[in-house]
Structure 1
Amino acid sequence: MNLVWQRFTLSNFPLREYLATSYLHRSLFGLLRSWRETSILMQWGEIIAAALLSLLYGLAPFVANDLVGLILLGCGVFWILLSVSDDRNALNLPKVTPIHILVFIFWGVAFLATALSPVRKFAITDFRNFTLYLFLFALCARVLQFPRLRNWLLILYMHVGLIASVYGVRQKLFGAAQLATWVDPESPLAKNTRVYSYLGNPNLLAGYLLPAIILSLIAVFAWKGLARKCLAATMLVVNLACFRFADSRGSFIGLALAAIVVVLLLRYWYADLLPRFWRTWLVPILLGSFVALFAIAFGASETFRLRIVSIFAGRGDSSNNFRINVWNAVFRMIRDRPILGIGPGHNSFNNVYPLYQLPKFTALSAYSVILEITVEMGFIGLGAFIWLLIVTFNTGLVQLQRFYQERNADGLWMIGAIASLVAMLGHGFVDTVWYRPEINTLWWMMVGLVASYWTPQQQDQNRDVISSNPQAAAN
């Protein structure tokens, strides 16, 4: 059974041996190696790539999507330039991981869905955008291998998230114009102010802050020095406050799932440092504390209570009723094209959905990432996405175990990446802000972070052999 799982998750797939014999890899990657060796600019390739990523994650919440798209295009072009000028013989850093393979498979399914789309003209445009995000993943996975660049990019995002949170809290204190009907107009919360900061939408803001909340919590444990820990704690408090004021029910679900993951993984990480009593009772106590805090907030805040109750109101809440009607139409779309869907992207959706929608229930998406992938790329696409998730989480947990054995503090950031992915998936189960550039770029950054830590299993085995044979190591 273990062998089947390893093959399914590509844990023992001989990547380097495969790439060494791959005609496509040998033909394209390293094609311009001699030019790179003489290029002064390309000697700073990874630094330039980090600068492009810094530009993307530093500006994403504040600028129009068109500018974000241009930066994404720059990231994709530069990744291609780096790849075709690579030294194929330099094996000191892994360039391809099992996650890369699944990302490529996911891309291949999207390509087929585009080619067979009933609205191919619109699907091609969205397929191009989809491809840029996957290039972003590849560039992140490459750049984040370098500890200094990784720390810089994570800190940059956390500080940008703090800026967005401070402005969101200010909106709550001094008021902010509600740019759309984000709350049921017949609800007692109709006049409640939901903050949106620089992102223009409270659900989008909450989704953007989910990784920031988790990473700031991890920073409390990972950063050394009292000043840095205080900064991390400040980020955590401000992010949580802004997150609460955004009042996004879907993000509440995501944060709850992430909290469970963080508690369980931190309990695993600090197991050796805990007394016997805390090893047994820490998880129940922490989870019980979360439940108690939830109960206190539920009882003390009418706004919070009504928002939580509305999740279970079914069609009694206008937002729920709207989503249910959209989902019913999406189910019919999936039924008619179950294999490869209608083609990727919101343009494809917008041109097919009107044929199925109920009157007065216009929608720009399926309001669920799972349904959106299924309607766009069929059950084959959904299967590829689930396989990608399984391989990503398996890779993260395997590397976390390695970090635990080595007592490498990078394991804490791996916990943050895993929990962030869980949070965004939980939110995406009932919403599709996941597809917005501000969040989609973060998603692929977290997947790239997991991939950047990947170490070939053969290397681990060789390390074990050397450590068990001191004479060989000395020679």
Structure 2
Amino acid sequence: MNEEKASSRYRWIGLGIGLSIGTIAYFFGVLETVKFIMALIILRVIIKKPTYGMILYILSIPFVSDVNTLLIGIVVIASYCIDFIRTDSFKFKFTPANFFIFLFAIIIAINTFLSITPKGSLRDFAIHLVSIGIVFVLIHSKKSKKEIYLLSVVFTLTAVIVSIYGFYQFFHGVPMGSGWIDVSQNPDIKIRVFATFENPNLLAEYLIMVLPISIGLILYSKNKFTKICFSIGALIIFVCDLLTYSRGSWIGFAFSIIVFILLTDFKKLALFIPVGIGSLFLMPDSVLNRISTIGSLQDSSNFYRFNVWNMAIDILKDYWFSGIGVGYIAFRKISPFYIKTMSPYHTHNTYLQIAIELGIVGVIVFLLLVLFIFKMGINSIINGEDKFIKISTASYIASLCAILVHGMAEHVFFNPKIILVFWLIVGMNLSIYRVYKEV
């Protein structure tokens, strides 16, 4: 009798599902119905295994719209929270950086609602909120070396796919936006690739955050085949970064490699310096000419940045304590009163921009957060014995160094995709630290 009731219940459930799918197909079409069914299946898998959601999140950032990426991020956070409740496994996990992440999030919230344009600041508030939520679940979910390795591989694989698309643009041609290059200073450069991003500098910011991770995978790999695969992947990402012709990213990457070597094997630094200098002779003239214009005020891009910085200082003088509010919309609203000859979206300097948006307290908290992440990482490298933890820590610290150095010439908290990846790197640094403490 019970079997008959169960059979009857399943028939009714099946009938209900069939009617629901039929109704959706009738009103929205077959393609949208298929998308809906796939979304439900993916959602079911993510809720069952939140790590798969994190993989999807990393994969989606370069390819999916900003809004959809944020939605995926929200689903990932929700899946981890459901998992915490279902397994009763949530325990607050302290790291020395937790306080500063929490404080920075509060400062962002305050400077959203006290912004000169609260509505305009909501965009960046939402992006940071989701990003810091991802950091929260990365810290508090149970992580293993295997899972850290898997996420690092996904980071690298995604960047390789993006880079291959960049190669396609380079060989097939792509329109170059006005202001992307000073033709008088760089006559040999005809194309700057940007792949799935809006401009070459954004692509470069993304690539230099992933490149040290791919190099770390090379060093950790235990057999020749995986070493070769990761080496090819790292080379593809590196060459694509060269094709962006982003000088700031080149400096950032070079600095990150120095940091990586210092953290893994100080003796190799002596070898790196002559190898690095020697490699310049293998670079094409277009790259060498681009390098030669670093810091030159004859280059229109550099001249523009210096002018913006000088004028933006006046904004900081008036709003050094309170800040103007989070995001580029607040900056665009106030900047015409100070910068009358240009119409920038930001100051092209992350630290100056944070100080203007969040005030002096905001930029100090941000720098303290970075400092504590570095301190934690160095501590785990010095005191730890596990090779994987040491290499992973070095690669993710180097990743953070790359984008922070690039941030001296660009505002890395402008584009949603870069913001999301930046906080992912922060979260991975803290996750690796948690694994080190639990080993």
Whole-angstrom distance in 2 between the partners of 1:250 and 1:213: 15
The aligned counterpart of 1:436 is: 415
Match of 2:285 among 288, 299, 302: 302
1:421 to 377, 392, 400: 400
Q: Distance in 2 between matches of 1:414 and 1:358?
A: 45
Instruction: State the shift of 1:177 in Å.
Output: 2.4
TM-score normalised per structure 1: 0.77
Does the Cα contact within 8 Å between 1:45 and 1:82 map onto a contact in 2? no
Distance in 1 between residues matched to 2:133 and 2:365, nearest whole Å: 18
**What is the Cα deviation at residue 382 of structure 1?**
0.6
Question: Helix, strand or coil for the counterpart of 2:433?
Answer: coil
Q: What is the correspondence of 1:27-38 to structure 2 with a 5 Å cutoff? A: none
Q: Secondary structure at the match of 1:217?
A: helix
Distance 1:113 1:188, change over 3 A: closer
How far is 1:160 from its partner? 1.0
Residues 136-145 or 238-247, more deviating: 136-145
**Is it true that 1:397 corresponds to 2:378 in the alignment?**
yes
Match of 2:276 in 1: 290
Q: Cα gap change, 1:85/1:97 in structure 2, threshold over 3 Å: closer, same or farther?
A: farther
**CA displacement at 1:59 relative to structure 2:** 1.6
Shift of 1:425: 0.4
| 8 A Cα contact 2:263 2:394, kept in partner | yes
Q: For residues 28-71 of structure 1, give each alpha carbon's deviation from its aligned partner in whole angstroms, at most 9, with x where no partner exists.
A: xxxxxxxxxxxxxx999886322222222112111221211222
What is the letter of the counterpart of residue 72 of structure 2? I
Q: Does 1:311 align with 2:294?
A: yes
Structure 2 distance, partners of 1:79, 1:357, is 45
Q: Which residue of 1 aligns with 2:182?
A: 184
Distance (whole Å) between structure 2 residues aligned to residue 432 and residue 196 of structure 1: 17
Matched residue, 2:76: 75
- Per the alignment, residue 432 of structure 2 pairs with 453
C-alpha RMSD of the superposition: 2.7
Partner residue of 2:127? 129
Report how far residue 174 of structure 1 moved: 3.0
What amino acid does structure 2 have at the position aligned with 1:364? Y
TM-aligned CA deviation for residue 209 of structure 1: 0.9
1:365 to 341, 346, 356: 346
Q: Which residue of 1 aligns with 2:305?
A: 323
Deviation for aligned residue 1:431: 0.5
Farther-moved stretch of structure 1 (53-62 vs 145-154): 145-154
Q: Which ranges in structure 1 are unaligned for 5 or more consecutive residues?
A: 1-41, 269-278, 464-475
- Structure 2 distance, partners of 1:60, 1:44, is 19
Moved more, 448-457 or 228-237: 448-457
* Partner residue in 2 for 1:336: 318
Q: 1:288 corresponds to which letter in structure 2? A: P
Does the CA contact (< 8 Å) of 2:194 and 2:200 recur in 1? yes
Contact 1:254 1:422 in 2 (8 A): yes
Structure 2 partner of 1:379? 360
Match of 2:248 in 1: 250
Q: How does 1:114-193 map to 2 (within 5 A)?
A: 114-143=112-141, 145-189=143-187, 191-193=189-191
Gaps of 5+ in 2: 1-42
Give the aligned partner of residue 211 of structure 2: 213
Counterpart CA distance in 1 for 2:189 and 2:244 is 14
Aligned to 1:356: 338
Closer/same/farther in 2, CA of residues 390 and 176 from structure 1, 3 Å limit = same
Deviation of 1:407 (Å): 3.4
Asked if structure 2 preserves the Cα contact closer than 8 Å seen for 1:424 and 1:434, the reply is: no
How many Å separate the matches in 2 of 1:166 and 1:371? Answer: 34
Partner SS, residue 454 of structure 1 = helix
The change in CA–CA distance for 1:97 and 1:215 in structure 2 (over 3 A counts) is: same
Deviation at 1:319, TM superposition (A): 0.8
Paired residues for 1:203-282 under 5 Å = 203-267=201-265, 279=267, 282=268
- Name whichever of 341-350 and 433-442 sits farther off: 433-442
